[in-house]
Structure 1
Amino acid sequence: MTPAEALATLRAAEARDGRIVVEQRRLLLLRLADALLTHAEAIAAALDADYGGRSRLETLLADVLCAVDAARYARRHVRSWAKPRRVAVPYPFWPTRAHEEPVPKGIIGIMAPWNYPVQLALVPVVDAIAAGNRVAVKPSEGTPRCAALIAQVLAEALGPDIAATVQGGPDVAADFAAQPWDHLVFTGGTTTGRKVAEAAARNLVPVTLELGGKCPALVLPGADLARAARDILVGKAVNAGQTCVAPDTVLLLGHTPEAFAASCRATGIGLPETALANDAQAARLDRLAEGARLERLAPDGAGRHRALALAFPDPGHALLQEEIFGPILPVLALPDLPAAIAWVTARPSPLAVYLFGAAPAEAEQVAHSVRCGALVQDRAVEYAAFPALGFGGTGHSGSGRYKGLAGFVAFSTIRARVVHGKWSLSRIFDLPRKNFAPRLIERLVRKR
């Protein structure tokens, strides 16, 4: 099925069957959660084969359960989200009544990446279905076995009148981005995200872009260094660092790189359970790390299983400029918090900034100085699994938010509804105006 065929099929279903009512949405969300649980082990096996080594537990937790939790949460709350909201009317217009109502945007296009192919395809599907839309999903060609299972899950749970899956490589993805969807979601790199936004703009399609960036971890003087090292490595090890919100660079304040490295070695966390996804990813990381001193925390495993490695690059090295998206963790000592804030703000806004050992005043100083999608204290990564917490970036790390109520709103049009009465005070200004009307208007605009 081509992108244009998918859009046409869903448009025809929309025209024939009309809007998806709230109770039908709740049933579809239940069926989606059930289908994911039914196919959970098959998804884990498919991703393990696609990666050449993907942790079964990480797939079940970060891909399957994240999407299931999102579906269950949306199902519990969609009735309240979908209710109209009464809006106050100024007294000159009384007895007019006004309210706002969320209505579906229509057909939502979703372009998913390879790093969390199920979660990042199906959590936007959850939000779109909760808002009453139909969906077309373009899974990543980088995980073909998993892409086939995504298509199967959508077909079983939602059916061809609600969801379509489009398979293919970069040419198909470019065609997908160019279609006149009612909203387009893209998760991936900033460079590709810019191209997607340009293609969507030609059709005036609104977009949600979930991109990336360098998410720094600031270890402040008040931090317990052993605990901070462990919490940072736990977040970095998930999916071998191939996570858009993984800690990208450690900024040490009041701690030495040597002490931090010793604390990292003491954790016993060294070899991630998941391999690098493909040979191109491995070659990219090798090029990125050229010329930097690396300290591996364990021996590398078989195939593309790479150990976590601390990096101590020179200023200006590519590791300090580009998003790493892998198991390499640069470490940089800075003199104080203003220097760390300056380091962060000199780079494109990240999805997340992590703080370890921050006093309340220090956390507020960062919050008032730094633009980012999330400011997280004393853990890393796992906030992205909270189904009620809106997720998104800003600037180079993305635009728009999804998950929970934020996703429902993103995929809804908030429509105004107004019912006028037979008379209101405002009508004294109707044409033809009475003689007193100009004087009254002048009094109303006079500064009090």
Structure 2
Amino acid sequence: MPHSIINNQAQLQAQFEYLRQLSRSQPILSWDKREALLQNLEDMLKEYKQKFAQALSEDFCHRSIDETNFAEVFPSFQGIAHAKKHGKSWMKTRRVSISAIYLPAHNEIQPQPLGVVGIMVPWNYPLYLAIGPMIDAFTAGNRVMVKMSESAPKFAQLFAEAVAEYFSEQVAAVVLGEVEIAQAFSSLPFDHLLYTGSTSVGKKVMAAAAENLTPVTLELGGKSPVVVLDDSDLESVVSRIMMGKTINAGQTCIAPDYVLLNKKYHQQFITLAKQWVQKHYPNISHNEDYTHIINDEQFKRVQGYVDAQDASIVYPLTDVDPNPENRLFPPVILTQPDLDSEVMTDEIFAPILPLIHCDTVQSAVTFINERPRPLALYIFGDDDEDIAHVREHTVSGGVAVNEVILHVAQHELPFGGVGHSGIGAYHGQAGFERLSHMKPVFVQSRFNAMSFLLPPYGELFKKGLGLLIK
């Protein structure tokens, strides 16, 4: 029997087979049907947005309701609106150019639904990172199965109930459960599997998908560097970086991970960062705007990064100590930590910000290129030549100049990683095409010259071919 909310492997297999059969016999083709699914998403979000935010706050032991509305609810609404505005044109068969020698034939690209899309959602932004892929999947005419993270259980349960209320089991299902359910989910022969999370788990997901030749989109994160050029307005730079490092307490895949800047600016950076935190998160131990760490395991990991450092390089930005009871972890700066330490090899995913001595543009480029390619790269400065040099001589999933994080909210831009930071990109038209089969079609004219290219190959054929390949 089909199920909208799935809690065990038997239900998982049954629901997948049900959706797969429907996707073959009743593909979602018309724009009216796709638009209706997007409208259901919008209506669901309108009804449940405050309940979603409250559930997330409970999962995090405190997360600002306003932060959830800003970082998850708002971009979800924006993504739905963008898809509703453009999706009908994206799905049209489009003509593309053809070589003159094949005229009067013509070429077309016909977007078609893939079928059933699996979506594996992380715990850090589980609302936006569930709804965002669902937008692209529905716009492309697919059915979906969504595996929620077990690390945000209250939100996961509420989201499953909301989807069951607004969507038929013929279109969508939400999967709950621990690691063994996630492993079974990634082993299903989806028509496409989209995973957001850590690189280590991403490798396992890709290996499981490979058994079925399931195509994957992997959004993996990694260490996103910030290059601060010497001509930067440091006060403005610190403000943007600290915003990116403290939103969701740094638990963001595209958070600034570490900063490359001239040694002579380190102390000024620290002073400005302390002032910024005091201004924006006063009385941080009881501040309603500051998010806590998701669970005890993550808190111990984060605390371990700081404990492993010599005290001389640790600069707390508040006078409040980390609190394991409620998992509050105030922001901290590390100056020139050991490059082989875990804080400089792991994705930090916390409000810890290393400052690394880097005195020239080229040394910054070299530092970045010696490491796995990042999901995001941030460049601050006013010199167009220096900015262009960094952009042209590094490879990253995305780049933001004189800003952090906001590139993810641009629905006209594809979002994705490269190398260790991910495979494939989605959002907007890029997401529609990622979750569609962009079928090439060659349409021959009734009257054409192909009969002259058939054997036996005579002199006319040889002369004509000779003109083409000489």
Category of TM-score, reference length = shorter chain: over 0.9
Relative to 1, partners in 2 of residues 1:91 and 1:341: Cα closer, same or farther, differing over 3 Å? closer
| Percentage of matched positions with identical amino acids | 35
Indicate the SS of the match to 2:256.
Answer: coil
- Compute the TM-score of the two structures, normalised by the length of structure 1: 0.96
CA distance in 2, matches of 1:33, 1:102: 24
Match of 2:346 in 1: 322
* Deviations, residues 202-234 of structure 1 (Å, cap 9, x unaligned): 111110000011111111111111111111101
2:118 matches 1:98 = no
CA contact (8 A) 2:24 2:115 kept: no
* Correspondence list, 1:34-433, <5 A: 34-253=43-262, 255-267=264-276, 268=278, 269=280, 271=284, 273-292=290-309, 293-298=313-318, 299-300=320-321, 303-312=326-335, 313-433=337-457
Name the aligned partner's letter for residue 156 of structure 2.
A
* Deviations, residues 308-331 of structure 1 (Å, cap 9, x unaligned): 111122343322222100011111
CA distance in 1, matches of 2:373, 2:194: 20
CA distance in 1, matches of 2:84, 2:91: 11
Name the aligned partner's letter for residue 356 of structure 2.
L
* Deviations, residues 108-130 of structure 1 (Å, cap 9, x unaligned): 00000000011111100100100
| Mean Cα deviation higher: 358-367 or 429-438 | 429-438
Q: Which runs of 5+ in 2 are unaligned?
A: 1-5
CA contact (8 A) 1:6 1:166 kept: no
CA contact (8 A) 1:358 1:377 kept: no
Name the aligned partner's letter for residue 467 of structure 2.
R
CA distance in 1, matches of 2:179, 2:166: 27
CA contact (8 A) 1:373 1:391 kept: yes
* CA apart distance, 1:90: 3.0
Indicate the SS of the match to 2:425.
Answer: coil
CA distance in 2, matches of 1:90, 1:212: 41
Name the aligned partner's letter for residue 136 of structure 1.
M
* CA apart distance, 1:357: 1.6
Name the aligned partner's letter for residue 152 of structure 1.
E
Indicate the SS of the match to 1:396.
Answer: helix
Name the aligned partner's letter for residue 292 of structure 2.
A
CA distance in 1, matches of 2:117, 2:185: 11
Match of 1:444 in 2: 468
Indicate the SS of the match to 1:330.
Answer: strand
CA distance in 1, matches of 2:429, 2:467: 44
| Mean Cα deviation higher: 324-333 or 412-421 | 412-421
Indicate the SS of the match to 1:193.
Answer: helix
* CA apart distance, 1:254: 6.3
CA distance in 2, matches of 1:391, 1:436: 52
Relative to 1, partners in 2 of residues 1:300 and 1:57: Cα closer, same or farther, differing over 3 Å? farther
* CA apart distance, 1:164: 1.1
Indicate the SS of the match to 2:137.
Answer: helix
CA distance in 1, matches of 2:262, 2:376: 18
CA distance in 2, matches of 1:415, 1:27: 24
CA distance in 2, matches of 1:436, 1:76: 53
* Deviations, residues 268-295 of structure 1 (Å, cap 9, x unaligned): 2454610000000001112222332321
CA contact (8 A) 1:28 1:157 kept: no
Indicate the SS of the match to 2:63.
Answer: coil
* CA apart distance, 1:300: 4.0
* Structure 1 ranges of 4+ moved more than 6 A: none
* Deviations, residues 125-167 of structure 1 (Å, cap 9, x unaligned): 1001001111110010111111112212322333211111111
* Deviations, residues 36-63 of structure 1 (Å, cap 9, x unaligned): 1210111011111111111111111212
CA distance in 2, matches of 1:227, 1:110: 37
Q: Which runs of 5+ in 1 are unaligned?
A: none
* CA apart distance, 1:16: 4.4
Indicate the SS of the match to 2:416.
Answer: coil
* CA apart distance, 1:28: 1.2
CA distance in 1, matches of 2:271, 2:159: 43
CA distance in 2, matches of 1:17, 1:425: 39
CA contact (8 A) 1:391 1:403 kept: yes
| Mean Cα deviation higher: 124-133 or 20-29 | 20-29
Relative to 1, partners in 2 of residues 1:301 and 1:331: Cα closer, same or farther, differing over 3 Å? same
* CA apart distance, 1:93: 2.9
CA distance in 2, matches of 1:37, 1:237: 27
Relative to 1, partners in 2 of residues 1:358 and 1:216: Cα closer, same or farther, differing over 3 Å? farther
